[in-house]
């Protein structure tokens, strides 16, 4: 295999593994937060196994921790996770899932796997990047959730270790080259930040993030013109 082709194949896998490990360790913070909010260890682990979308999981335990009902927490988590549906629509033409494997692919459609897949130059590389990110992040996130839940009483506040910022920091590092690529990307990024910051004091947790996506829609319409 030519050297340039080997690099093309290896890069999405390398990026996926690196991002999966970096973000996955923040599962410790979720496991500890879930148990501190009143969930059992197996409930925390079940959320990571079957929900597998960190923002929604944190939103759910955040509501429970402040005395909110499970119904209210679940509604917020579902609303926040609804953005993955938009990701799925975008990735369907790239990943081409079929048969029972579609359920597994659907579970893996999250911020990080989408970003890695869409950053690749062609569909084969996108599929490799998606698979590598999903496999490593899923394994690391679930193991970290278990570790955090079991050691919740010993590690103290998860925020004290800064684990809650690992995911956003890694994600920003991943998309930074695209933000530098052109005026449209920068405009969309700044518009999304403005929408999220402006609405955060007014709306429930998670809603401003979803509404910030309107900046991307506006950017797409402007670019098409």
* Selection from 67, 83, 73 nearest residue 47 by Cα: 73
Confidence bin at 115 (pLDDT 50/70/90) = confident
Largest CA distance in the chain: 59
CB atoms within 10 A of CB 95: 21
- Residue 11: which pLDDT band, with cuts at 50, 70 and 90? confident
Indicate the pLDDT class of residue 13, thresholds 50, 70 and 90.
very high
Tens of pLDDT, residue by residue over 35-82, are 888 899 999 999 999 999 887 888 788 778 777 777 777 877 787 778
Q: In this structure, what DSSP letter does residue 114 have? A: H
Contact 24, 171 (CB under 8 A): no
**Helices 83-95 and 123-150 meet at what angle, rounded to 10?**
140
| Residue 87 burial (10 A CB sphere; 0-12, 13-18, 19+) | middle
159 pLDDT exceeds 80?
no
Q: Quick one: pLDDT band at residue 223, thresholds 50, 70, 90? A: low
DSSP state of 122: S
pLDDT digits (tens, 9 = 90+) for 89-103: 889 889 988 888 889
DSSP SS3 for 202 = coil
Question: Taking the domains of the chain in order of start, what are their residue ranges?
Answer: 3-161
């Amino acid at each position: 295999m030519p050297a340039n082709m080997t690099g093309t194949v290896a890069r999405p896998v390398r990026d996926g593994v690196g991002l999966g490990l970096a973000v996955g360790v923040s599962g410790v913070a979720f496991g500890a937060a879930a148990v501190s909010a009143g969930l059992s260890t197996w409930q925390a682990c079940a959320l990571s196994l079957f929900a597998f979308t960190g923002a929604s999981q944190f939103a759910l335990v955040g509501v429970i921790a402040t005395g909110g009902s499970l119904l209210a927490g679940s509604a917020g988590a579902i609303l926040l996770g609804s953005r993955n549906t938009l990701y799925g629509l975008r990735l369907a033409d790239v990943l081409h899932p079929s048969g029972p494997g579609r359920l597994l692919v659907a579970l893996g459609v999250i911020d990080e796997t989408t970003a890695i897949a869409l950053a690749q130059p062609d569909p084969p590389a996108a599929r490799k990047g998606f698979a590598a990110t999903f496999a490593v992040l899923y394994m690391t996130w679930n193991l970290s959730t278990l570790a955090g839940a079991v050691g919740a009483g010993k590690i103290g506040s998860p925020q004290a270790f800064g684990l809650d910022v690992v995911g956003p920091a890694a994600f920003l590092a991943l998309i930074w080259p695209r933000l530098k690529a052109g005026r449209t990307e920068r405009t969309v990024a700044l518009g999304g930040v403005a929408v999220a910051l402006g609405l955060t004091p007014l709306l429930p947790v998670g809603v401003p993030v979803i509404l910030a996506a309107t900046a991307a829609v506006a950017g797409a319409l402007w670019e098409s013109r």
